[in-house]
């Protein structure tokens, strides 16, 4: 008997191995096989009686993973589709989608072992870390982790502290922590019904808490569905008192009700575009749609995708609170920020059906979910859904495919849908659900005003450090009234350039064709492309002039200026630099929510999804640069970002105001923004795209090449373009000139790209398939890759 196995290898073929029939191999099983001189884990795709490979060349399977139930045919099809569509080998898609623990056969036996994990109890929360010696840093870290994470597994604890087991035993005896034993490999079907009127013992948590009574088993009956909402008065404002175990449900607005029932009544594959203005309560729609489904089908699973899970703690909290009556461990997250062990466990919970709700980032779209019944994609327009390396897939597009494959509803939510999705809805392929009003009765959309910087200058009202007079006054007024403001600019660091007035020298990266960014607090010049860093020089390295000065403005500089022009204001900066440490983003955001901040300055990080309740003013700096980009999607992205960030203002009661500083106050994009007119913007931009033959009216693919020199990269692309002429399907494909990337050199590697496009997706796909083997035969570059549906041109 033979198995045909997919391996994580660029060749798009399956590899044959001999297998003992007694081992009953099945498609979807993982096997450990010899490959060259190594052993690797592969995925069984077929089981056959014959092999084309010569008898003496077929090697034998070493080991089959019995700890992991086989991946379903549907999942194999999903991986197969992604591989084919994105021009990759099946194994290159399937294996990286699995948790690391499954890809290492030496760890398979441990998978079956029950998982021990520790949870901090209230008594421990009160006692720790004060009970620990000040210098016991490792112990303190252990206590810290326990306090921050929901639980800590025994191996993770050991990794933090070599004697963790003994310490935790001590804490267990003191009643500070509880020990739980989870049987991760328990088969599907044992998943506990949500209705907790049924005894809460059938679930996978086997228990052994030393201090009983503290480990909370949900006691309230599940109050998920809309019916329970009736008794709750609207005046609660939708916020449930934290003390109640079963959350109060807000009364849905008419628009929300219509959306929920459309989703609920859907039959089979049903793609929805939930277009809801910021603050219209899209989350509530997902919650109700899920509740309705999970209430009626006690084994159904839901997948909810968000662009960046670390930035949406409120989102996760809302799901955990609403579905608190679900079995422990029935809501899991999947994202790259998880520790490896936790990610494996969560993946397993999804794969075995224990997890009823999977909340995750783009990688979760490839999770194994045997009972998947609904998918929600929040902020579906977000570019973060596109993987930018390796398999360059769009999680949103794969979500649609998956829903179609399974015949289930998929909800794409956004205040500013991608033009691709908007166009699908225009054509009637997606059903549009509109939430035009904010959910909270007294929260109107903010007024948007444009501050004409040229006009300010002509009137002799100079800006101070890039902050215009009207913006400064508005900020001061908010501070006086005790309201919060948000200042948005999409550039981190202190200044994007450091230059010498005397000779024109600008600090550049030695490895990239890019300027380095000045980071003042860190006293460093840093390359944002490769991470190269150096100290700020005292004088110009070219002419010795000591008067070298920063050019332009980043968040650090604006933070500094704000402290100067709005004296006494508590200014907080949130960007990739200030949140580098794990968990620090959450801490900073809590400060904002707690009202400990007057002015928040930040990059798009602050624009995404946060429900800031006291922000009444948003200032936008430096948005103009994106208006004239060579990338045709730049204006779509800018519009979405500005709508998002504007949406942070005036969410609860306080009237919101948005001030945009610009040199182009008459630009159509700003006009649409001022009128909150996504529809007008989308329709106008789509019309332009149609005239210009741009996506979504054509389909594109990008061939990128990286060489030691630019010439090498361009020569490769030229040969590639010539090869295209031999492909019949390429007759319907337009080939553009090979061009260097905007930042042509990164890490001493030179990069160029070749764009091809077609009005026919099938022609483009056929061309790419025929092209691949030709490209493999070409030489002269370090690397090349194909990206289908590229987002960055």
Closer residue to ligand ADP in complex, CB, 252/365: 252
DSSP state, residue 622 = S
In the complex, minimum distance from the CB of residue 789 to ligand ADP, in angstroms, rounded to a whole number? 26
Phi, psi of 607 (to 5 degrees): -85, -25
746: helix, coil or strand?
Answer: strand
**Residue 503 binding: pick among ligand ADP, Zn ion, none (C-beta 5-8 Å cut-off by kind):** Zn ion
Q: How many CB atoms lie within 10 A of CB 628?
A: 10
**Which listed residue (70, 250, 417, 695) binds ligand ADP by CB under 6 A?**
250
**What is the four-CA torsion angle of 515, 519, 523, 527, rounded to 10 degrees?**
-40
**Residue 308 binding: pick among Zn ion, ligand ADP, none (C-beta 5-8 Å cut-off by kind):** none
Query: Could you please report the per-residue DSSP string of 368-382?
Result: --TTEEEEEETTTT-
DSSP state, residue 697 = S
**Residue 216 binding: pick among ligand ADP, Zn ion, none (C-beta 5-8 Å cut-off by kind):** none
**Number of residues counted as binding ligand ADP (CB under 6 A):** 17
In the complex, minimum distance from the CB of residue 253 to ligand ADP, in angstroms, rounded to a whole number? 5
The region of 251-259, 513-521, 537-545, 761-769 touching ligand ADP under the rule CB under 6 A is 251-259
Residue identified by tokens 């060749």 is 11
648 forms part of the interface with ligand ADP (CB under 6 A): no
The region of 30-38, 96-104, 280-288, 668-676 touching ligand ADP under the rule CB under 6 A is 280-288
253 forms part of the interface with ligand ADP (CB under 6 A): yes
Closer residue to Zn ion in complex, CB, 184/540: 540
**Which listed residue (61, 293, 355, 527) binds Zn ion by CB under 5 A?**
527
The 472-501 contact track toward Zn ion, x by CB under 5 A, reads ----------------------------x-
169 forms part of the interface with Zn ion (CB under 5 A): no
Binding residues among 396-455 for Zn ion as defined by CB under 5 A: none
The 588-627 contact track toward ligand ADP, x by CB under 6 A, reads -----------------------x----------------
In the complex, minimum distance from the CB of residue 439 to ligand ADP, in angstroms, rounded to a whole number? 3
- The CA angle 136-140-145, to the nearest 5 degrees, is 155
In the complex, minimum distance from the CB of residue 248 to ligand ADP, in angstroms, rounded to a whole number? 10
Closer residue to Zn ion in complex, CB, 441/503: 503
**Chain residue at closest Cβ approach to ligand ADP:** 238
- The CA angle 777-779-784, to the nearest 5 degrees, is 90
Tokens of residue 623, six digits: 């948005």
256 forms part of the interface with ligand ADP (CB under 6 A): yes
Name, in order, each residue with C-beta under 8 angstroms of 294's C-beta and a sequence gap of 6 or more: 194, 224, 300, 302, 323, 326, 356, 357
**Residue 493 binding: pick among Zn ion, ligand ADP, none (C-beta 5-8 Å cut-off by kind):** none
Q: With residue 48 as reference, give the H or E element that holds it.
A: strand 38-48
Distance of alpha carbon 742 from alpha carbon 416, whole angstroms: 27
Instruction: Specify which residues 117 forms β-bridges with.
Output: 153, 180
530 in a labelled binding site: yes
238 forms part of the interface with ligand ADP (CB under 6 A): yes
68 in a labelled binding site: no
In the complex, minimum distance from the CB of residue 356 to ligand ADP, in angstroms, rounded to a whole number? 21
The 433-462 contact track toward ligand ADP, x by CB under 6 A, reads ------xx----------------------
In the complex, minimum distance from the CB of residue 354 to Zn ion, in angstroms, rounded to a whole number? 45
**Which listed residue (32, 87, 192, 280) binds ligand ADP by CB under 6 A?**
280
**Residue 439 binding: pick among ligand ADP, Zn ion, none (C-beta 5-8 Å cut-off by kind):** ligand ADP
Interior/surface letters 181-201, b for 16+ CB within 10 angstroms, e for the rest: ebbbbbeeeebbebebeeeee
Binding residues among 537-556 for Zn ion as defined by CB under 5 A: 540, 542-543, 545
Q: How many CB atoms lie within 10 A of CB 132?
A: 16
252 forms part of the interface with ligand ADP (CB under 6 A): yes
In the complex, minimum distance from the CB of residue 429 to ligand ADP, in angstroms, rounded to a whole number? 23
**Which listed residue (147, 317, 464, 503) binds Zn ion by CB under 5 A?**
503
Binding residues among 31-90 for ligand ADP as defined by CB under 6 A: none
**Residue 250 binding: pick among Zn ion, ligand ADP, none (C-beta 5-8 Å cut-off by kind):** ligand ADP
In the complex, minimum distance from the CB of residue 251 to ligand ADP, in angstroms, rounded to a whole number? 6
Distance of alpha carbon 183 from alpha carbon 383, whole angstroms: 37
| Length of the chain in terms of residues written | 793
Going by C-alpha positions, the residue among 673, 482, 508 that lies closest to residue 570 is: 482
19 in a labelled binding site: no
Residue identified by tokens 């508590």 is 570
Binding residues among 89-108 for ligand ADP as defined by CB under 6 A: none
Instruction: Specify which residues 467 forms β-bridges with.
Output: 464
**Residue 736 binding: pick among ligand ADP, Zn ion, none (C-beta 5-8 Å cut-off by kind):** none
Residue identified by tokens 């494996």 is 344
Query: Could you please report the per-residue DSSP string of 270-299?
Result: EEEEEEE-TTS-HHHHHHHHHHHHHHH-TT
Phi, psi of 423 (to 5 degrees): -65, -40
Distance of alpha carbon 422 from alpha carbon 667, whole angstroms: 22
Closer residue to ligand ADP in complex, CB, 124/238: 238
**129: buried, middle or exposed (CB in 10 Å: 19+, 13-18, 0-12)?**
middle
278 forms part of the interface with ligand ADP (CB under 6 A): yes
**What is the four-CA torsion angle of 247, 248, 254, 257, rounded to 10 degrees?**
40
Show contacts of 513-518: CB within 8 Å, 24+ apart: 513/743, 513/744, 513/745, 513/746, 514/743, 514/746, 517/492, 517/493, 517/554, 518/493, 518/494, 518/550, 518/554
284 forms part of the interface with ligand ADP (CB under 6 A): yes
The region of 250-258, 531-539, 664-672, 705-713 touching ligand ADP under the rule CB under 6 A is 250-258
**What is the four-CA torsion angle of 22, 25, 31, 36, rounded to 10 degrees?**
80
**Which listed residue (120, 364, 509, 618) binds Zn ion by CB under 5 A?**
509
65 in a labelled binding site: no
What are the C-alpha distances in Å from 690 to residues 12, 416, 431, 685? 36, 19, 22, 9
Closer residue to ligand ADP in complex, CB, 236/748: 236
The answer to whether the Cα torsion of 405, 408, 414, 417 is positive or negative is: positive
Interior/surface letters 518-533, b for 16+ CB within 10 angstroms, e for the rest: bbbeeebbbbbbbebe
Going by C-alpha positions, the residue among 756, 752, 743, 754 that lies closest to residue 713 is: 752
**Number of residues counted as binding Zn ion (CB under 5 A):** 15
Closer residue to Zn ion in complex, CB, 324/530: 530
**Residue 282 binding: pick among Zn ion, ligand ADP, none (C-beta 5-8 Å cut-off by kind):** ligand ADP
Tokens of residue 435, six digits: 């939430």
The region of 108-116, 440-448, 523-531, 566-574 touching Zn ion under the rule CB under 5 A is 523-531
**Which listed residue (4, 282, 354, 402) binds ligand ADP by CB under 6 A?**
282
Q: Provide the binding-site residues for ligand ADP, judged by CB under 6 A.
A: 238, 250-253, 256, 276, 278-284, 439-440, 611
Q: Provide the binding-site residues for Zn ion, judged by CB under 5 A.
A: 500, 502-503, 505, 509, 511-512, 527, 529-530, 532, 540, 542-543, 545
Q: What residue numbers does the annotated binding site cover? A: 500, 503, 509, 512, 527, 530, 540, 543
């Amino acid at each position: 008997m033979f198995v045909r196995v997919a391996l994580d290898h660029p060749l798009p073929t399956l590899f044959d191995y001999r297998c003992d029939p007694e081992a009953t191999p099945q498609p979807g099983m993982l096997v450990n096989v010899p490959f060259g001189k190594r052993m690797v884990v592969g995925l069984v795709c077929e089981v056959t009686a014959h092999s084309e490979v010569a008898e003496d060349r077929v090697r034998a399977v070493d080991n089959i993973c019995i700890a992991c139930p086989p991946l379903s045919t549907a999942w194999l099809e999903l991986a197969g589709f992604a591989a084919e569509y994105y021009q990759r080998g099946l194994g290159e898609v399937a294996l990286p989608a699995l948790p690391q623990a499954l890809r290492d056969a030496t760890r398979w036996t441990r998978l079956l072992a029950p998982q021990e994990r520790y949870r901090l109890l209230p008594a421990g929360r009160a006692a720790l870390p004060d009970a620990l010696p000040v210098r016991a840093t490792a112990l303190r870290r252990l206590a810290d982790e326990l306090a921050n994470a929901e639980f800590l597994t025994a191996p993770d604890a050991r990794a933090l502290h070599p004697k963790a087991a003994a310490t935790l035993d001590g804490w267990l005896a003191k009643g500070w922590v509880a020990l739980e034993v989870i049987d991760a490999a328990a088969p599907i079907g044992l998943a506990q019904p949500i209705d907790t009127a049924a005894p809460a013992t059938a679930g996978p948590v086997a228990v052994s808490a030393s201090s009983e009574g503290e480990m909370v088993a949900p006691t309230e009956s599940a109050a998920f569905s809309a019916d329970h909402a009736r008794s709750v008065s609207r005046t609660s404002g939708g916020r449930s008192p934290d003390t109640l175990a079963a959350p109060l449900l807000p009364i849905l607005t008419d628009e929300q009700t219509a959306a929920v029932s459309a989703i609920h009544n859907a039959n089979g594959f049903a793609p929805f575009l939930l277009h809801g203005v910021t603050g219209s309560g899209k989350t509530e729609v997902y919650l109700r749609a899920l509740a309705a489904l999970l209430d009626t089908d006690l084994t159904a699973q839901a997948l909810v995708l968000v662009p960046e899970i670390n930035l949406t703690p409120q989102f996760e909290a809302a799901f955990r609170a609403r579905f608190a009556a679900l079995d422990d461990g029935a809501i899991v997250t999947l994202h790259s920020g998880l520790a490896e062990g936790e990610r494996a466990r969560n993946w397993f919970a999804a794969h075995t059906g224990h997890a009823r709700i999977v909340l995750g980032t783009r990688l979760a779209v490839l999770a194994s979910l045997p009972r998947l019944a609904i998918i929600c994609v929040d902020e579906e327009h977000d570019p973060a859904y596109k993987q930018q390396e390796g398999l360059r897939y769009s999680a949103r597009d794969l979500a649609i495919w998956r829903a179609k494959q399974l015949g289930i509803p998929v909800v794409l939510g956004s205040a500013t849908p991608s033009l691709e999705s908007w166009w699908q809805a225009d054509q009637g392929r997606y059903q549009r659900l509109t939430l035009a009003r904010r959910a909270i009765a007294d929260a109107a959309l903010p007024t948007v005003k444009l501050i004409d910087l040229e006009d300010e200058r002509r009137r002799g009202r100079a800006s101070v450090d890039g902050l215009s007079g009207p913006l400064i006054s508005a900020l001061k007024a908010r501070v006086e009234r005790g309201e919060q403001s948000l200042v948005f600019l999409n550039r981190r660091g202190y200044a994007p350039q450091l230059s010498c007035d005397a000779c024109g020298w600008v600090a550049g990266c030695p490895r990239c064709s890019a300027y380095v960014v000045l980071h003042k607090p860190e006293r460093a010049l840093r390359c944002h492309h490769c991470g190269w860093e150096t100290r700020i020089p005292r004088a110009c390295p070219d002419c010795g002039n000591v008067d070298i000065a920063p050019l332009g403005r980043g968040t650090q500089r604006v933070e500094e200026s704000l402290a100067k022009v709005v004296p006494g204001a508590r200014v907080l900066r949130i960007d990739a630099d200030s949140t580098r440490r794990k968990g620090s983003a959450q801490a900073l955001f809590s400060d904002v929510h707690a009202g400990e901040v007057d002015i928040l300055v930040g990059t798009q990080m602050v624009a995404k999804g946060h429900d800031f309740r006291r922000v009444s003013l948003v200032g936008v700096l430096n948005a103009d640069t994106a208006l004239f980009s060579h990338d045709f999607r730049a204006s779509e992205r800018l519009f979405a970002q500005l709508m998002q960030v504007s949406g942070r203002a005036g969410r609860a009661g306080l009237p919101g105001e948005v001030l945009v500083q610009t040199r182009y106050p008459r630009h159509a994009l700003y006009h649409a923004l001022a009128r909150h007119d996504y529809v007008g913007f989308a329709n106008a931009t789509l019309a332009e795209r149609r005239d210009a033959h741009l996506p979504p009216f054509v389909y594109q693919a990008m061939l990128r090449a990286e060489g030691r020199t630019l010439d090498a990269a361009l020569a490769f692309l030229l040969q590639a373009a010539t090869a295209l002429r031999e492909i019949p399907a390429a007759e319907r494909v337009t080939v553009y000139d090979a061009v260097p990337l905007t930042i042509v050199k990164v890490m001493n590697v030179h990069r160029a790209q070749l764009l091809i496009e077609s009005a026919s997706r099938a022609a483009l796909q056929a061309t790419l398939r025929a092209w691949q083997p030709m490209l493999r035969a070409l030489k002269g570059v370090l690397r090349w890759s194909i990206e289908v549906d590229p987002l960055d041109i």
